[in-house]
Amino acid sequence: MNARQVAVKVISEIERSGSYSNILSDKTIKDAELSKADAALASMLVYGVLQRKITLDHVLEKAAGKNFKKTHPFVLAVLRVAAYQLLFMDKIPPSAAVNEAVKIVKASKQRFAQGFVNAVLRKLNTEKDSFLKAISECDDLGVKYSCTNEFAQGLIADYGKETAEGFLQASLEAPKLYCRVNSFSAKDNLFDRLTEKGITVAEADIDGAFSMQGAGSVEGLTEFKNGEFFVQDLASQKAIAAFGIEAGMSVLDVCAAPGGKSFTAAQYCGENGKLVSCDLYEQRAGLIKAGAERLNIKNLQAMQNDATVFNSNFGTFDRVLCDVPCSGFGVIRRKPEIKYKSLSEFDDLPEIQLQILETSVKYLNPKGQIMYSTCTVRQAENRKVIDAFLKKHADFEIVSEKTLMPQNDGTDGFYFCILSQSI
């Protein structure tokens, strides 16, 4: 299969089964044994279509007319891939986008639809400027930014229209890949060695954090395999940096998988510190352990544990991290399928989040601090959970609080609140 065929296959399967885009896309691209350039194109097409799905369908319906509603799911996937190229990828020749789409349909069981596909895409290309103008001026935020109107209105209620639109616009942009130097294994001249491989490296505003461009699959780099760095978004690094973890401290991470925050916290508490890193599932705890071994982190103990249930064997800690399960709406640049979910799917989360926070404070030293964090921007899962906690625990107070937004901070959407007992 070529890049476009792979993209169509992935998008069709996601629509059919609800699979996660990152997992399915990576596997399908790997199985197709595409070249580096084609793998990059396939990935770009998959994520581009998922980011703009509602917008693309709106435009395609305008171009196709009444017949659009009857479009077969496979043909629709082909149309979406081609429409994304025509509208949002300036470096792709329109003829290539149209002709390849027709070829894919012609070689399928839906070959009778090739004339329909050809006509719709040619109309779309001819009237491209007017379609793009209509999108940019559209009052319907769901169409303009390709999300559910329920999600858009929820953001407006939480933050106001300007901030909500800023977040939605930023969610359509490709996120940077951020990493962290591993102080336990890093060798001299890491950035120079990466640069020599054609990778663009730029230091971030947090000590040890940097961005990478042009690396392809990070897992294939020798420096990654040797544990000299690990992948972690800047938002998480900023949160841990703000937590005031010092050398020799004891730290508990109650919901740690896949382990990035634990690995960063381990650097701050140092070789003489102690870090217990937990997850609900044994297999995911095993992933944390494997990651720590690759990174030569010896002060970390990974184990299975239910964060909602108090574990009397743990003792107490100087710092407790509660990065709770959440809706994930802060990472829709990376997992765009999340933004099409109904908010009702997450109605039970705040109760679980509060339960984890209330359980976790029992592990805290009297002078210690606890951090509550999520990778969502919904106030229902953020400040409202903190308000519910403080209402029941008057002996606690907020030390600091921050909502990170991609349009302001260049990070994923992220929330953290640090709490301590009142003195």
Six-digit token string for 362: 């029992």
**Domain-located, residue 185:** no
Residue 350 near residue 384, CB atoms below 8 Å: yes
What is the reported pLDDT for 388?
98
Examine the pLDDT at 356 and tell me if it is beyond 80. yes
Residue 269 near residue 294, CB atoms below 8 Å: no
Whether 260 and 395 share a structural domain: yes
Whether the CA torsion 387, 388, 389, 391 is positive or negative: it is positive
List, for residues 181-202, the tens digit of each pLDDT value: 999 987 889 999 999 999 999 9
Residue 319 near residue 245, CB atoms below 8 Å: yes
Whether 238 and 133 share a structural domain: no
Active-site residue 375, yes or no? yes
Instruction: Measure the CA–CA gap between 337 and 275, rounded to whole angstroms.
Output: 34
Instruction: Measure the CA–CA gap between 360 and 372, rounded to whole angstroms.
Output: 10
**Domain-located, residue 200:** no
From 137, 153, 172, the end of a domain falls on 137
Catalytic residue among 147, 255, 322, 375: 375
**Domain-located, residue 253:** yes
Whether 390 and 264 share a structural domain: yes
Residue 131 near residue 324, CB atoms below 8 Å: no
**Domain-located, residue 328:** yes
Our count of domains for the chain comes to 2
* Out of 36-40, 141-145, 149-153, least confident range: 36-40
What is the reported pLDDT for 299?
95
Whether 121 and 248 share a structural domain: no
Percentage of residues of the chain with pLDDT beyond 70: 99
Instruction: Measure the CA–CA gap between 333 and 330, rounded to whole angstroms.
Output: 8
Residue 395 near residue 389, CB atoms below 8 Å: no
Enumerate residues 6+ apart whose C-beta is below 8 A from 230. Answer: 179, 180, 182, 224, 260, 263, 291, 295
Examine the pLDDT at 20 and tell me if it is beyond 90. no
What is the reported pLDDT for 32?
78
Residues 253-262 have a mean pLDDT of 96
**Domain-located, residue 355:** yes
**Domain-located, residue 51:** yes
What is the reported pLDDT for 121?
97
From 122, 137, 152, the end of a domain falls on 137
Distances (CA, A) of 391 to 326, 387, 397: 21, 6, 11
**Domain-located, residue 160:** no
CATH of the domain at 23: 1.10.940.10
From 137, 171, 188, the end of a domain falls on 137
Question: Alpha carbon 98 to chain centroid distance?
Answer: 31
Range of the domain at 70: 3-137
What is the reported pLDDT for 217?
80
Strand partners, 421: 396
List, for residues 46-66, the tens digit of each pLDDT value: 999 999 999 999 999 999 988
Instruction: Measure the CA–CA gap between 364 and 352, rounded to whole angstroms.
Output: 19
Q: Helices (H) and strands (E) in the chain — how many of each?
A: 19, 11
Whether 125 and 273 share a structural domain: no
What is the reported pLDDT for 423?
66
| CA neighbor of 374 nearest in space, from 312, 409, 344, 331 | 331
**Domain-located, residue 197:** no
Residues 219-241 have a mean pLDDT of 95
Whether 119 and 265 share a structural domain: no
Whether 130 and 251 share a structural domain: no
CATH of the domain at 294: 3.40.50.150
Residues 152-157 have a mean pLDDT of 97
What is the reported pLDDT for 19?
66
